[in-house]
Amino acid sequence: MALCVEEDPSSDWDDVEEEEEEEEPCQDLFSCKMFRNVEDMLENCKAVHKFDLNGFFKAKGLDFYGRIKLINFIRKLSPRPIDVTDAVTPYPWDDDTYLKPVLAPDPLLHWDCGSDTEEEEEDKDAPDLVDEKSTNDVRAVEEELVEARCQLDRMKHFVQELVTENSRKPTEPHVDDDDSYFESYSHFGIHREMLQDKVRTEAYRDFMTLNKALFQDKIVLDVGCGTGILSMIAAQCGAKKVIGVDNSDILYSAIEIVRENKLEETVDLIKGKIEEVELPIDQVDIIISEWMGYFLLFESMLDSVLFARDKWLSPGGKVFPDKCSLHLVAINDDQLWKNHIGYWDDVYGYKMSCMKKAAITEALIDVVNSDTVMTDSCIVKEIDICKVSGQELDFEADFQLQVVKEGMCTGLVGYFEAEFNGDVKIAFSCSPSHSPTHWKQTVFLLPKRMQLFKGKIIEGRLGCKRNLAYRRSLDIQLNFVGLPGYTIKYCIA
Beta strands across the sheet bearing 219-223: 267-271, 241-246, 219-223, 284-288, 313-320
What value, to the nearest 5°, has the Cα angle with vertex 329 and ends 327 and 331?
150
Q: Cα separation of 404 and 401, whole Å? A: 9
Secondary structure of residue 3 in the 3-state scheme? coil
- C-alpha 9/C-alpha 11 separation (Å) is 5
Task: Give me the catalytic one of 290, 382, 406, 419.
Answer: 290
| CA-to-CA separations, 354 to 142, 206, 360, 411, 449, in angstroms, rounded | 51, 50, 11, 19, 17
Rg of the chain in Å (alpha carbons): 29
List C-alpha distances in Å: 231 to 244, 254, 287, 338. Answer: 6, 10, 10, 45
Contacts of 117 (CB under 8 A, 6+ apart): none
CA distances 50 to 32, 84, 474, Å, are: 17, 12, 25
Contacts of 10 (CB under 8 A, 6+ apart): none
Is-catalytic flag, 132? no
Instruction: Report the run of H or E that residue 142 belongs to, with start and end.
Output: helix 135-168
Of 221, 230, 223, 222, nearest to 194 by C-alpha is 230
Q: In whole angstroms, give the CA distance from residue 334 to residue 330.
A: 12
Catalytic entry in 161, 299, 419, 459: 299
290 is an active site residue: yes
CB 328 within 8 A of CB 401: yes
Residue 167: name the closest of 100, 94, 97 by CA.
100
So which residues are the catalytic ones? 290, 299
